[in-house]
Amino acid sequence: MKTVTIKLPENEAKELEEFVKKRNYLSKSEFIRNLIMERLDRNRKEKIGWMILAENSMKKLWNNKKDDEIWSKYL
């Protein structure tokens, strides 16, 4: 594993410590790691969703009988 260091203002660092203790997380590092992994997974799912949406839109464009009739005259 690699180490990543973040610097927080004192009040935010204290708030993070209290939150981690209150929620019984193993450590601040584990809490932050889980947040990052959750965010990355959410972004990946969102990108996949947009790709599926685009794919469906392209199907509507390319599977168009009217266009097929017009293009068949030229091909």
CA angle 37, 43, 44 (to 5 degrees): 90
- And the tokens for 11? 């009040």
Mean pLDDT across 27-43: 86
**pLDDT, tens digit, 9 for 90 and up, residues 2-24:** 888 889 999 999 999 999 888 88
The reply to whether 14 falls in a domain is: yes
Any domain includes 4? no
In a domain, 2, yes or no: no
pTM of the model: 0.50
Please indicate, yes or no, if residue 1 is contained in any of the structural domains. no
Total domains, the chain: 1
Domain for residue 3, yes or no?
Answer: no
Contact by Cβ (8 Å): 10, 17: no
Instruction: List the domain range (segments joined by +) for residue 42.
Output: 10-74
Specify whether the backbone of 34 is left (phi greater than 0), alpha (psi in -120 to 50) or beta. alpha
Please report whether residue 57 resides in a domain. yes
pLDDT at 60 over 90: no
Q: Is residue 32 part of a domain?
A: yes
